[in-house]
Structure 1
C-alpha cells in the first residue's frame, strides 16, 4: 500500500476518534467535517494536522510524554495512536481510564467498549494526546473563521517575537557605535594624535558591526520563517473557506476569484520581514533624536522638521494612487477572466474561426490594465523620489545649520558629523515606512479582495452544531420548494412537492430549462430553497451536516470536472475508504474498464488538465465510475449517457437495472433508453411538476398531453391563416 494511502487511512482513523471524544463532551461533529480541516496533508507535520482536526472538533490537544502503563484517570479523555501489525496507524478514543490497565473507548455514535491497554502497549509507534473542550468553542471557531485572514495573523508568535524584539533593541543601540566613534575621532583622536584610542575605537566598531550583521541576519531569518508559517496557515485556511462556501455565496466569477487569490501574495509580500523590521525600528527614532540633542543641541530641530515633511511628501500622492489602484484591480480581474475563458474554450474558438475576436478581447483587456499599471508605477516612483529628495535636503540642512553652530562654538565638528549620521539613521526607517505608505492602498484593495473570499457564507456555520444523521433510511422529500439563481428573474423551480423513497428508481424528464439539473443540485444540498424545504428522513437539509449528508450519494453532474492527475486520483478525489479492487469494480460498472485495461499504465494513466487526455466518452464513463465507487446508497445521475454510443448506453441501462434493491436512483435524461432503468417518472415543465407516477402510466399520459397540445397548435394556426 502506498504511503499516501496509509496517511489517508491514519487521518480517517484520527478523525473518527476525535468525533468520538467530541460526542463524549456532548458535541456532535461528523468525521467528514473533521477530515475537511486537514491543512494540506503530506507537507504538514502530524502535530499540525492533529491540531487542525482537533480544533474543528471543538477540542484542544497536547502531546503526552507518557508510557501507556503510567496513564491514570486524570489523563482521560485522550487519544492513543499506534501502528498495527499491517503497518496502519490507528487511533483509540479513550474516554475513561480505570485501574489494572483497563480503559473505556468511545465511538462517534455514543457507544463505548472496554479494552485492556496492556495489549496496546506492545504495539509500535505509540503516541498519546490529551484532549479538552476548546473554551468558548462557538466564539473561538467563529473568530478563527473571520479573523485568521486578518493582518494580525502575520504578527509573529511569542516564540519569535521575544528574540526579534531583543535583536531589534540591540541592533538599534549598536547603530550608535559609528556616529559616536566618528565624533570622538574628530574631536579627540585627531587633535591629540591618540592612535591607540583610534585603533580601540576601530576594533570596537568592527565588533559592533559584526554583531549587528549577525543579529540582523537572525532577525530576518526568524521573521521569514514566521511569515512562511503564517503564509501556509492562512493560504490553506483561505482555500478551505472557498471550498466550504455556499454555492449561492459565490457572487464573483472564476477570473475575479482567481485574481483575489493572487492578491493574497500581494498582502503577504507587503507584510514581509523588511516591513516588520522597519516597523520594529520605528520606535527607536525617538532614541536617535535624543542622542542628536545630547551631542549636537539645536541641530535636532532639522530632523524634527524633516520627519513630518517626509510623511506629507509620501501622503501627497495617495489620492491619485487610490483611484488608479481601484481601476487597476478591476482591469486585472477582467484580464484574468478573459484569459480563463479563452484558454478554457480554445477548441470552440478554433472551430468557429474566432481567433481574431479572442485576440481583440485580450488586446483590449491588456491595454486597459497596462495604462493603469504604468500610471501607478509613475506615481509610486514620484512618491519614493520625493522621499529621497527630502532625505537629501535634511542631510544638507543639518550640515549648513551645524556649520553655523560649529563656528559659534556651540558644538564640535565631531558632534556635527555624528548628528548628520544619526539624522540619516533616524530618517531611514521613516523613509521605508513612507515607501510602504505609497503601496498602502494597493495592499488595502488586495486585502479587501482576499477578505471577500474568506467572508463568504459557509455551508457549515462555525457557531452551529449541525445534525449528524448518518445514512438516509426512509425518504427524501420536497415540500413546496421554490428556487431561483437571480431574484430579478422567474424562479427555476416553483412550488415543487414530491417524495423519493429509499430504493426507488426515479427518472426526471422535461424540456430545456425546466429545472431538472437544479432539482438534483437541491438533492445534493448544493443550494438552499428560497422557500419550502428539502428533507431527508423528515429533517430539513439546512439542519444537516452537508459533508456527512453527501456521503450517502454518488453523483454525475451535468458537467463533471476532471483534474490533473491519474485515473485513480480522479476516481477517488482524495477518499481514503476505497481501495484499488473497489475502483476496478466501479470501472466495470461504469463501462470504463474495457478502455482502462488497454492503458499501459492502468490506474496510473494521467488524464491531463481537465481530462484533456481522454475522449468525451471516456470522461463520461470515468465520471460514472466515480459515482459508483464505494457502492453509495443513492445514485444521482444527470444525463449519464450523453456522450456514450448506443452499445455503451445499453450496457449502462443493464447495470442500472441490476442495482441492489436498497440503492436509490434519481436519473435526469433526455434519452428514452435510460428510462428502462426507472420505475417512476417525474415530468417537469417551467419549474413545476407536470406529471408524476409509474413509468408506463406517465409515458402514456405524456403522449396524450403532447397530442392534445399538437392539436391545439394546429387549431390556432388554422384560425390565424383564416
Structure 2
C-alpha cells in the first residue's frame, strides 16, 4: 500500500510538472512574439533616445516569463491542493486544521506587507539596472569612438555610478527578504510544533489516533512547504516582475506605425505622387523639426533637396517616406493618407535609402533580399554589377553567402551603402527616396551608382534626392533648398542653381570692375616694369 501511494505521488508530480512546463512554453512563445512584434512596430520618431535602455526594458519580459512559468504557476497549482489538505486534516484531526487556517492567512499578510515595503526599492533597482544595461549596449556599439577618444574612464565612471545605484536599491530588498525568510521559517516551525503538541493532547484524550496525527503532520508539511516557505522569494520575484511590467507597459504605450485595430487600405497600385498639407513635425523634447504648409510632387518628377547641416533635409525625407508621422497635417500618396495605407503595401511602392545604412546579422544574400522575393542569382549579380557591389561578391570565397556582422561591421561605409542601393534596385519601387547615396563612395563607384540610378528611372518613377553634391543635381529637374526646417526655395533646378551662384558672381564682378587697368607686368616682389 505504501509503495502504491509513493508511486502514485511520483506519477502525479511528474504529470503536473510536464503540464505546467508545456503551458509555460506556450505562454512564453505567445507573449514573446507579441512583444517583439509590438516593439518592432513602434514609430521611429517615438522610440526612446536610448535604444540600449529600451532593449533592457524588453529583457524584463524574461523576469515576467520566469515568474509566470515557474513559481507563480506552481503556487497557483498548489493552492487548491492546500485547501484540500486542510479539509482532510479537519476530517482526521478536527481542530488541528485551525492551526493552518491561522498560519496560512498570517503568512499571506506578512508577505503582502513585505511586498509593500520593497516595492519602491525594486522599482529603483529595476530602472537603474536597465540604465546600466543600456550603457553596456551603448559602449559596445560605440567601442571604436570610445577608444579613439580615450573615453573608457568616463564610461567606467558612469558604469560604477549606476552599479552603486543598483546596489543601494537592492540591499534593503535583500535584507527584508532575509528577515522575512527567517520569520516564515519560524512560523512554519511554530505551526508544526503546535500541531504535534495539540495532536499529542488529543491522542492522550483518545480523540484521535497516532496514525491520524502522523497523516496530519505530513499533510501540513505539504501546505507549509510549497506555499508558506516560498512566499518571501515569490513576493520579491513578483515585485521585480511588477516593475518590469510597468516598464513594458511604457513600451506598449508608444505609438505604433499604424493604429491597432484600424482597417488599413490595401490598394493594388499606388502612383508615386506626393502631396503635403499643413505639415508640422517636431522631435521629442521639443527639438526643432520641419514645417511645410504645402508641397506637391508629381509622378515621374526628379526632385533634389539641398541645404545646410541640420536644416531638416533628412527629416523631411523620413516624413515623406512614412517612417516619421507628422504631428499635424497630412502626407498623401496617390491622394491617400500614408497613415491609412497598410505598411507592407507602402514599403512595396517606396524605396528609402538612409544616410547610415545598417545591415543585419546574416549573409550578404539575406541582406540583399530582406523583405523581397528571391529574383535569382542572375538578377542579383546583374544589379550588383551595375552598382559596383560585384567587387565585394567576387573578392571573397563565400560570394553572396558572405557573413555580415551586426550593423554591417567589417564592411566599409561605402560597401554598406552599395548593399542598400542594390537591394533598392532589386525591389524596383516607383518612389525612390535617397539620402546622400554617394557620400561614402569614390569617384569611379559614384559614376557607376549614378548610371544605375538613371537606368532605374522610367517616366513613371519619382525620385527625391537629398545631397550636398551639386553634381548630383544633374539627375533632377526640380530643386528645393531647405533652411531652418522650411522649404526656402523651390523651383526648376537650373533656376535655383542660378540663384545660388548669382550672389557669388556679383561681388566678384564688382571687384574686377574696381581694379585699375594693368599697364605693366608685376613681379613677384611687387615691382612694376614699364
Both proteins in one fold, TM over 0.5: yes
Encode CA deviations 1:25-64: one digit per residue, 9 max, x unaligned: xxxxxxxxxxxxxxxxxxxxxxxxxxxxxxxxxxxxxxxx
Matches within 5 A, 1:271-670: 271-431=68-228, 434-435=231-232, 436-473=234-271, 475-486=273-284, 488-490=286-288, 492-661=289-458, 662-670=460-468
Counterparts of 1:680 and 1:469, CA distance in 2: 28
Aligned-pair CA distance for 1:602? 0.7
Counterparts of 1:227 and 1:698, CA distance in 2: 64
Query: Which consecutive aligned stretches of 4+ in structure 1 deviate over 4 angstroms post-superposition?
Result: 705-711
Encode CA deviations 1:216-241: one digit per residue, 9 max, x unaligned: 21221122112112211221121111
Counterparts of 1:683 and 1:710, CA distance in 2: 24
The range that moved more, 477-486 or 655-664, is 655-664
Q: Is the 8 A contact 2:387 2:445 kept in 1?
A: no
Query: Are the structure 2 counterparts of residues 320 and 338 from structure 1 closer, same or farther at C-alpha, using a change threshold of 3 Å?
Result: same
Query: SS of the residue aligned with 2:284?
Result: coil
Matches within 5 A, 1:260-275: 260-275=57-72
Name the counterpart of 1:225: 22
1:689 to 487, 496, 505: 487
Counterparts of 2:143 and 2:428, CA distance in 1: 37
The range that moved more, 249-258 or 341-350, is 249-258
Question: 1:699 aligned to 2:497?
Answer: yes
Name the counterpart of 1:86: none
Aligned-pair CA distance for 1:335? 0.5
Aligned-pair CA distance for 1:577? 4.8
Matches within 5 A, 1:128-143: none
Query: SS of the residue aligned with 2:216?
Result: helix
Encode CA deviations 1:324-357: one digit per residue, 9 max, x unaligned: 1111111111111211111111111111122221
Counterparts of 2:261 and 2:94, CA distance in 1: 60
Q: Is the 8 A contact 1:313 1:386 kept in 2?
A: no
Encode CA deviations 1:338-395: one digit per residue, 9 max, x unaligned: 1111111111111112222122222222232233334433322332332222111111
Structure 2 stretches lacking a partner, 5+ long: 510-530
Encode CA deviations 1:447-504: one digit per residue, 9 max, x unaligned: 22223333433323343212212333261122231211136344x1113422222222
Encode CA deviations 1:202-225: one digit per residue, 9 max, x unaligned: xx1211211221122122112211
Aligned-pair CA distance for 1:706? 6.2
Q: How many matched pairs?
A: 507
Counterparts of 1:556 and 1:410, CA distance in 2: 86
Q: Is the 8 A contact 1:653 1:673 kept in 2?
A: no
Structure 1 stretches lacking a partner, 5+ long: 1-203, 712-722
Query: Are the structure 2 counterparts of residues 509 and 429 from structure 1 closer, same or farther at C-alpha, using a change threshold of 3 Å?
Result: same
Query: Are the structure 2 counterparts of residues 710 and 682 from structure 1 closer, same or farther at C-alpha, using a change threshold of 3 Å?
Result: farther
Encode CA deviations 1:395-448: one digit per residue, 9 max, x unaligned: 111122233333333333333333222222232343256242332221211222
Name the counterpart of 1:208: 5
Q: CA RMSD in A?
A: 2.3
Question: 1:673 aligned to 2:471?
Answer: yes
Counterparts of 2:507 and 2:118, CA distance in 1: 64
Query: SS of the residue aligned with 2:396?
Result: coil
Q: Is the 8 A contact 1:249 1:457 kept in 2?
A: yes
Aligned-pair CA distance for 1:709? 11
Query: Are the structure 2 counterparts of residues 329 and 434 from structure 1 closer, same or farther at C-alpha, using a change threshold of 3 Å?
Result: same
Counterparts of 1:283 and 1:649, CA distance in 2: 72
Counterparts of 2:441 and 2:349, CA distance in 1: 26
Give the structure-2-normalised TM-score. Answer: 0.90
Counterparts of 2:258 and 2:131, CA distance in 1: 31
Q: Is the 8 A contact 1:302 1:397 kept in 2?
A: yes
Counterparts of 1:399 and 1:705, CA distance in 2: 102
Counterparts of 2:267 and 2:156, CA distance in 1: 52
Matches within 5 A, 1:58-73: none
Q: Is the 8 A contact 1:314 1:384 kept in 2?
A: no
Counterparts of 1:611 and 1:585, CA distance in 2: 22
